[in-house]
Amino acid sequence: MRPMLATHGRQVPTGEAWAHEVKWDGVRALTEVRDGVLRMTSRNENAITIAWPELATSPLGDRDLLVDGEIIALNERGLPDFRTLQDRMHVRKAASAARLSRAVPATYMVFDLLRIDGRDLTGEPLDVRRELLAGLGLDGTWQVPAAYDDGAMLFEATLQQGFEGIVSKRRRSTYVFGERSSHWQKFAHRHRVSYVVGGWRPQEGTVDRLASLLVGEPTADGLLYRGRVGSGIGPRQGRALAGLVTGLGRGDSPFADEVPRVDAQGTRWLEPVLVVDIDTHGRGYQRLRQPSFQGVRSDLTPEDLCRP
């Protein structure tokens, strides 16, 4: 069984026909309890139960059940972050999974009920499924996230709080395994933030064509590395940026923390004086997610970006 998926929406829908939920940045999982045996599967139908020992016991015991949800873990800023789960996703040894579950505890956000006590609910409207789900009293490592009537409010609130986005669902929608349905629409946030350039990478096979920037966030602990940005830097932008970094070179990294080898290799380090705007997916993460270069901020200095 593959889970039902959402399409990309253009505008958050309004009206009583829609309910709205937080879009969780985690690992999608269907969980079935049949004949007393619990089995979790990924969206690609791979068995993943062993990777999540803290989630692998149903709070309803051996009760017949099939639910859909998202496995999440929080980053250092208290936000759900897919990358916090990456060391756990592919673990298939029980001892390693148990150790990682203590270091990076996960929570299962259960947002849909598809079967209970042998009753198939996939043909029932979402409102019916959600009402039955809420009545199960799930709490602890399995939780039922809230649904909201006001999508615009939720979209703005999740934007300000740094969440990934929202999902809007028709209240009358049924559940169709494996379908990407327009009855479910997702709206992801992107954020434009200013960063300081600490290095640049040439285009592969060249020595002087600027292809990407290494950027950081100025803090009380120094310039902390946030990621490498190549998207948005075409030939014209590359030529303009190459002119701006001329004369700013230095022999060592300006970042106070360690730059991953994959990013540091071949990088030309710079004095950290140039400020640029980056459009990024999500906010509050240690590394930029799907970043895109937007332009140079000649009106800002690194000191202007220092946060108290």
Q: Quick one: which of 305, 270, 249, 275 has its CA closest to 196?
A: 275
How far CA 22 is from CA of 19, 239, 267, 302, in Å, comes to 11, 41, 38, 34
Distance (Å, rounded) from C-alpha 218 to C-alpha 124?
Answer: 52
Q: Is the dihedral of CA 3, 128, 149, 183 positive or negative?
A: positive
- CB-CB contact of 43 with 222 (8 Å): no
Q: Which residues of 178-207 are buried (b: 16+ CB within 10 A; e: fewer)?
A: eeebebbbbbbbeeebbbbbbbbbbeeeee
Residue with tokens 């959600």: 130
Q: Compute the C-alpha angle 185/187/192, nearest 5°.
A: 170
- CB-CB contact of 278 with 197 (8 Å): no
Out of 23, 93, 169, 186, the active site residue is 23
Active site residue 23: yes
Q: Quick one: which of 237, 221, 212 has its CA closest to 288?
A: 212
Active site residues: 23
